Every structure is written in C-alpha cells, then in structure tokens.
Chains A and B, each alone.
Chain A
Amino acid sequence: MMDIDVPGHIEKVAELEGHDDRAWCVAWNPTKPVLASCSADKTVRLYHFSKTDADTENPSVTFVHNTTISTGHTKTVRSIAWAPSGTTFATGSFDSNIGIWEQESSDEDDEMHGEGVKTGEWECMSLLEGHETECKCVAYSTSGTLLASCSRDKTVWVWEVHPDADFECMGVMMEHSQDVKCVAWHPTEEILASASYDDTIKLYIDDPSEDWFCFTTLTGHTSTVWSLAFSPNGRYLASSSDDCTIRIWERIEQHKWECVKVIEGQHERSIYSLSWGVGKRRGDDGKGEFGGWLASTGGDGKINIYEIYEPPSSSDPKGREPPTHTLIATLPSAHGVHDINHVSWCPRQGYEDLFATAGDDGIVRVWRINLNGQ
C-alpha cells in the first residue's frame, strides 16, 4: 500500500537465495554481467544476469546462479569489491585478511556463454595480511591501481596493485580513534575517504615522496558514520550515519570539503549503506544539472531513492546553493523485518535503473525503479 506520494516505485526483479547467514555486501562487475554477494556464511556467490524479452519496452532481467566460492576465510566475509578490469575481486573478512580472487581458465571457455562469462574456478591469488582485527571494507580505485581497506583496528591501508596478484603496501593511516567502517574512492582522482565509529570522515591523498596522509577531517555527524558515496562526477560526497541523517559534502576548493545539505527524517534507524548512481533524468525541467540517483537503506529495512540536481556553477563563493534532492521512490520492509546491510547501483550502461540490496535475511534482492508514466 503506497502511503507516500512519490513519482516512482520500486519493483522487485529477482530474489537470490542461497546464503546460509546474513548477506553483507553486493558488488556489480563493472565490465561483465555478473553480480557478487558475500555473507556471514563465509562464501561469495556469483550470479550471471541478462535481459530477456527484448521486444517490449520494459525488458526483464534474469539472474542465474553461476557459482558459490568457499573462500577459506575463517570468519564473516564482510566486504567485496570488483577491480575495474572485472577479472579480479577482493574480499575483506572478519578474520582480518583480504583475499584477492581471479578466475582460472578452463577447457569450456572456448565456447563462450552469454557475454563472455568464464566457467573456470575462482582461486585466491593473494592474501593481504596486516590488519590486526576485523576488516570492514575494501575498495578499488577507479584506475584499478590501488586498493583501500579499513578495519576495527582503526587503520586505513592503501595497497598498490602489482603484476601476478602482488600488492605493495603504500600507506597505513592511523588517523581514526575508533573502528573504521567504510572506505570509498573519488571517481576520477586518487582521493580516498574513510568513515568511522568516531563520528568523523577523513580524506586522504598521496604525497609522492612520502606516505599517504590525511588532509582533512569532516565533522558534523553525531554518531557512527556507516557509509560513504561520491557523486558520479566527484563534486559531492554523501555520508550516512547512526544519527539517521545523510550529509552531503561539497568540494569547494582543492582540499576543502563542506557540508552543504543534511537529509533527515527519512529513516527511523541507522542508515547502513549509500550508493550514488548515474540514474536517469526525468524530463527537461531546467532545474539545473542532473546529479544522479542516491539510494539509501539501513536498519529500518527501508529503501529510499533520491533524485539529485546540482545547482548551476556560480562564481560567487558566498552565494553557493546546495544541491536539491527529491524523494522519487521508497519501499518499506524491503527485506521483511530484517536490516538491509548494503545497496548498490548497477554501473553498466543500459541498467541505470537497476540496483541490488543485501539483507540480514541472507537474501540478495535486485530491484528496478519504475518511474510512473514511463
């Protein structure tokens, strides 16, 4: 029953069962039609998806289970991230290790299935050890040359990707005073952001002759910061928190970020995950630059989708306007009574309205935004 008047609604596309425990994270392969999920059952599940019914206006997407990887991690696999090449993914685990996974070639690869999905077995090519306690998040930079990780030991690590699944430690930042929950890379530059139990967000850059270091700290949240998401063009950074708010920070100078918007009243409990996709523009109403779709979810089991418009660029620094946000779709109890731990937009072209969520019920669900009247 729709009790909120919003221009769109969220349709379920697929329900992917199979995990024996809560599902923590979903990650879309950037180059292949593959969706990965990781879980407290210590496995990674891979699904292949494709469009069907190409004749209709709204083709449906079908998901087929491809493989289940018993990672060998001795505890929860808390995070998963694809490399931009799409041939490698990293897993971060509560056993404090990071696994780097690649697929073996098999004899059946001669006859390619679908859009080039391989059938070989996934192997752990490298194990990154260094964190002292649970690894909470792993993330590849857009160029794929760097991998960031963070942990309950309050550290943020930056690794450089080398050939043959070798990694070199480029920086160990001990800036946070508590558990670090999330790391995220800027979409076009090598700027790293981290979110922590100490209520702060820290931004890091590389000093070529020395180490990676923290160049600024963003304060404003009154409780744990759970998730971070840069806007597709990198002008904004969104953060979500235990304080039930989403803050949007704007880059106003080379190394200066300011909070320009607080979205509150939309979630009743912790907001565990954000994802900022390119989205689809609705009509041409001249509001400004279309800034994409921001998805949020959390402990209240609700999924919210906001449409973001950026203000026109202004040369007047004091007259800076905040971006506008409009709630275009919402779905309560998307995983029943369970928390939703992660939300992620599909980055592939032609799938801008597709996203997936992972919940405490152990199920991964795939959704699509249906804009009414389309």
Chain B
Amino acid sequence: MAFSGALTLTDLNDYITPAQACIKPVEQTNRIEQDPGAASTQIHIDSSGSYYEVSTDTKSVATTVKKLEQAQISLNDCLACSGCITSAESVLITMQSHTEVLNFLSSNPSPLCSSHKSPVLSIAPQSLASLATSVSSTSSAPTTTLHQILRRVQAFCTSVLGFDHVFDTTFARHIVLLEHTQEFMERRSGDNSDGGKLPMLASACPGWVCYAEKTHSEMLPFISRTKSPQQVMGTLVKNWMGRNWGKKLSEIYHVTVMPCYDKKLEASRQDFYSELYSTRDVDCVITTGELELLMREKGWDLSIPVPGEEGEVSPSIYPSSPPPPLYPGSADLHPPRGGETFGLNGEEPPAHTSSAVQIPELLSHPGTSSGSYLHSIISALTLSHPFPLELSTRTVRGADYEEYVLTNPETGEVVFKGAKCYGFRNLQNVVRKVGREAGVQVGRGAAGRMVGGRVRKVGQKGGVNGVNGERERGYDYVEVMACPGGCVNGGGQLRPSVRAQVEKKTDEEGYERDWSGSGVKVGVGMDDGETNVQGYAGKWGDKDWTKKVESAYWHDLPTPPASPALESSEVKINGHGRSTREADRYAAIVLRDLCEPEILSGGEGLTWETHMGAIAEEKRRLHFRTQYRAVEGEVIGLAVKW
C-alpha cells in the first residue's frame, strides 16, 4: 500500500502477515557487545507497564535489572511501509486529521496571549474541483466554479472555524513550476552539482517519492529536487508571509487541504521541519473528504452561496481581525534597504491593499490538472529556442500515459521528448524504461534480489540506424503521478454519493441498457465486443466521477484578454498571459525577500531565471528544493508462509 488510493480507512483489519519485519530499524543507543555463550535474559513487566531485562544467570551474585526503552513508531514510518497493516495505522492517521485541527483551534490562546498562533489554511485546486463536483451532483444548482467554492471555503474557515487567512495553492505551484523549469534547464546544460540526472522525473507526488525511496532508490537521482506546491506553500506562509506579518515561524499554525493522504506523510518529513522554531512548514494536512466532514459536523451547507462569491477578494471576508499590511514600515525583521531602487522589468511593484496579504488566486496553468509540470517545461523550451518548434503527442495507452515530442521542423531534430505517466501500472513501465536507458539496475524486490549477473543485457536495437536511433530516443522528462487520472483522483478526494450512483441509468458508454434482459448465454469463443460490465467501480474511483472532477477543475478558465497583448506568443502558450505576468512579478518579490540577492549591476530586473550571488543561490535551494533518501529495504522473512 505505497499509494494513497489503496489506503482506505474502511479496509482495515488486524491480519498481520507472518514474519513481515518492520522496516524501521530499532536504534540501539547503548549497544553492549555480548560474549559468545553469554547468558540469556528474561523480560519482566512491572505494574506500571514498563519492560525490564533481567539476567537469568544463576551463578552471578548480582542480578542485573535494566529498564528497556520503548520503541516509537511515527506516522511516516508506518505510511512508508506496506508491511503490517493494522488498526494502529488508523490511530496514527488520526494524529493528522480534522480532529487535530479542531483541537488546535479550540485550545489556541486568544490573540492577546503571546503563545497565540495565527491559523492559516491553504487548499489545493484539485480539492476545490472535488468539492465543486460534489455540490453540482447533489443540488439542482448550475455548475459551481472553483472561484465560488473557494469563497465559500474561505467564509466557512474564517467565520466558523476562526482561521485568519485562507489561500489556494496555485501561486505556490507557480513558483514550483518556475523552479522546476530552472532545475530542468540546469540538468540539460550539464550543471548537475546536485547529482541530478536525466531524464528528470517530477517530484510533486509524495506517493511516487515514497515508493521510489522504498523500492526504487536507484531512481532518486532522476527525481527533481524541487519542492511540491504544498511545501512551497508552507515556505510562503511561514517564512515569507510570516515575515511580512511580523510573526515568527512558530507563531503560525498552517493547515493544508489536499486530495491525497500521502501529503500527510510529505508534511511530516524531517526536511520540512525547523529545529530552530520547533515547527513544520505544514502543521497539519487534511484531505478533501476531511474538510467536507468538518463542514457537515459544523452544519455548513457548501451548496449555499455566500455574499460576494462572484467577485474578487472582499474585505468582509476578514471581518474580525484585519492582518497587518504586507509591507509594515515598522517591522524589524526586514527593514527596507535605502539603496534598493531596482524595479521589476521597469515596472513599479503593484500597490497592495491594506486589508489582507494578496497573492494571485486560482492561477490556471495549461496542461494537466495534476500541475502541468511537463507542459511548463515544454513552454519554456519553446520560448527559449531560436527557431519555432513543433509539438506532437502520442497516446501510449490511454490518457494516463502520453508522450510529447518537440521537433525543429527545419532540421527534423528532436529537441525534447517527455511523457506524462499516471498510475501505478504505467509507473512500473516508466521505471523500467528509464532504468534500461540509463543502464541502472532497476529495483529490488522487497524480499531480496537476484544473485549475480545471470540477467543478460538485451542488446539495444537500431542503434546504428539513424531513423531507429531517433525513434528510440529516451525521455528528457516524465511527469509522474501515482494515482490513475492524476491528483483529481487522489485517495483523499470525495467519492460519488450513493444518490448519484443510483440515478445512473446508462452504462459506461452512455447507452441505456436493460441489464436484467441481457441474459442470452454467450457461446464459448463468441465475443460480441461488449467489454463494459454493470456496476463497475474500481478501487481507484469511478471513472465517470473522475472525469467530472477533471472537468470542474478546468471549468472556469478565464477568457484571454480581448485586446492583443504585447507578447502574443506568450499569451498563446500560457493562455492567460496577464495573470501569468502578475504571478511572475509576485514570484520575483518572493525570491528577492527570501533570498536577499546582492544589488544587481546595471539596474537589471530580477526574474526567477536570474542567477543571483552564491549566497543567494544557496538560500534559493534551501527554500525551494529538498532531498531524498533510500529507505532500508532488505526485509528478511524468517518464516515465510507459503
């Protein structure tokens, strides 16, 4: 159960497969070297439940009694292992759940108290799409937009739960896409100081990262080091916004709403924990389903509109305590520098309203609903290439596995080859393909690996022939997501309600069918081509439902500006050039504030592609990149059950 889709809370049982060792090595702090033939010991338990190791050596005069340390299993240990799945996992999962959020909110001291934490919530666009689909399916109202759902979530979280701020994560994703593209360009140019290899694989999916760390550690050098949108959102909220609010990291409590259970695991990684402030970038992750559960518990009907949900941010959303402005003049954390006069591409920083922190909302990144990582790289390559490039796509097997090739039509040269690869099955094939092309020994079974080199290398075909060589060209980039259909089909998303399923009168292909009447016996060997089966609803969710969530995700794409923009090609590729340029300016502000580059010579404007000084580049890596490590994978089955 490395992926959240298979982790269903109702599927728990206490069957522990025999001899499945826990992968977490018990760290023995005081390792005593035992003599050969040393006396054995016994374990005693006293009335308080503590464990004692008692020597059974009758010859010894002094009987040694030693208290044993209790082993600790945390959430990230258990979620990373697909071994013994017991009800204990449900206990661990409740440590990161909506109950935890409610407990924090109720026990949070008042804003006047020094230990008060400012609660902030960030919600993923896929979660908004899931909520919108659920609202549309259960009410007679017309289709609800993500914008409307965001306003309703904001109203619920601020007025009912008491959050100070509610954001969506698309601006964080914008930064991720900029950094992701930057990292890809570094690898392409051979600047692999981090040890990164090509093809670069996407890193935003914690299910994939966790699986690679556990089972395919040879894939780790290929995975991008860029943080995911959730973790960059954590960086923005605690480091950047906190600085502008005049608050320390520990004075903010950050909750995210995600379509995925594995995001809980991601948030709890040690890389995203600040020892200095004893706090995490994301304190708690709840799923779309858990947020919906919260709303039902509080009696909030998400299908009822809230005032002003059609427009932009309304000051009335923050009625209780308006936060300080974005640039407080009296803040000591970031005093303005007198010599700082650079503008961003010659434009003045946009004026900020004094009512709330402003970041661009619901940015649309053309490509995939899982984040458009591949398409962003394709866009960047197209923009930076001196000649116009031609993009062709090929469906390998369904919508979950597609290849994208950029070609220079003048010379026929293939400039870039990438793939979008969703779902565990396709992931297996990409791992094998990448490993084969890179000459990496792919994988090891959880129970061991083949001894010696009995696996003969199959010769690479068509290497000499130029045409075959082009056809066999490996990938430069793969957008990997663990869930079939991508994040809109994440394990934490809402599932279709019973009422929605009962009302379905047509089969999977949209035709009405008399199921009970189609009882004609089919002879052996005869095949009428019917492959649809009544009542099919796979473990990875109803496919019709997933398509609706995907449709809701793209539903309210804003219309491109009517007047022709200055950079028409950018508008054509990005689809929404004005919003993208605004987001780029905000991203540059974030980069400047967090990385504090030296003053650039010549008045050159700061962009995400700018190479700042060494110290500033180091800060960029610290804030926007992470690392991975292999999980100890050798499980010794002492008594294998056959």
Contact = CB atoms under 8 A, between A and B. Distances in A.
B454 A124 contact: yes
B447 A235 contact: no
A213 B508 CA distance: 14
Given A95-B447, A97-B450, 14 more contacts: A95-B449, A96-B445, A123-B454, A124-B450, A131-B446, A132-B215, A132-B447, A153-B82, A164-B461, A169-B425, A172-B425, A174-B6, A188-B524, A214-B538
Contacts of A169: 425-426, 428-429, 432
Contact of B533 (A188, A216, A235): A216
A215 B521 contact: no
B452 A72 contact: yes
Contacts of A130: 428, 443
Given A133-B17, A210-B543, A216-B533, A172 B524 contact: no
B398 A129 contact: no
B442 interface: yes
B428 A164 contact: no
B398 A132 contact: no
Contacts of A189: 525, 527
Interface residues on B, range: 35 or more
B481 to A, nearest CB: 15
Q: What DSSP secondary structure best describes chain B's contact surface?
A: loop
Contact of B15 (A134, A166, A168, A178): A178
Contacts of A319: none
Nearest to A178: B15
A72 B520 CA distance: 51
B632 to A, nearest CB: 15
B8 to A, nearest CB: 11
Interface string A77-101: 0100000000000000011110100
Given A188-B525, A215-B533, A94 B539 contact: no
B458 A97 contact: no
A96 B455 contact: no
A165 B11 CA distance: 37
Of A78, A125, A152, A206, chain B has the most CB atoms within 10 Å of the CB of: A152
A215 B536 contact: yes
Given A126-B458, A152-B641, A213-B538, A72 B15 contact: no
B522 interface: yes
Interface of A: 71-76, 78, 94-97, 99, 123-127, 129-134, 136, 152-153, 164-166, 168-172, 174-175, 177-179, 188-189, 205-211, 213-216, 233-235, 251-255, 317
Given A125-B456, A125-B458, A233-B524, A74 B428 contact: no
Nearest to B430: A169
Contacts of B519: 253, 317
B531 interface: yes
A294 B356 CA distance: 77
Nearest to A122: B454
A207 B531 contact: yes
Contacts of B448: 74-75, 95-96
Interface in B252-270: none
30 contacts: A72-B451, A73-B450, A74-B449, A74-B451, A95-B449, A96-B448, A97-B449, A124-B454, A125-B456, A126-B455, A127-B450, A129-B443, A130-B428, A130-B443, A132-B2, A133-B17, A152-B17, A164-B458, A166-B458, A169-B432, A170-B425, A172-B425, A174-B6, A177-B13, A211-B398, A211-B425, A216-B533, A254-B528, A255-B533, A317-B521
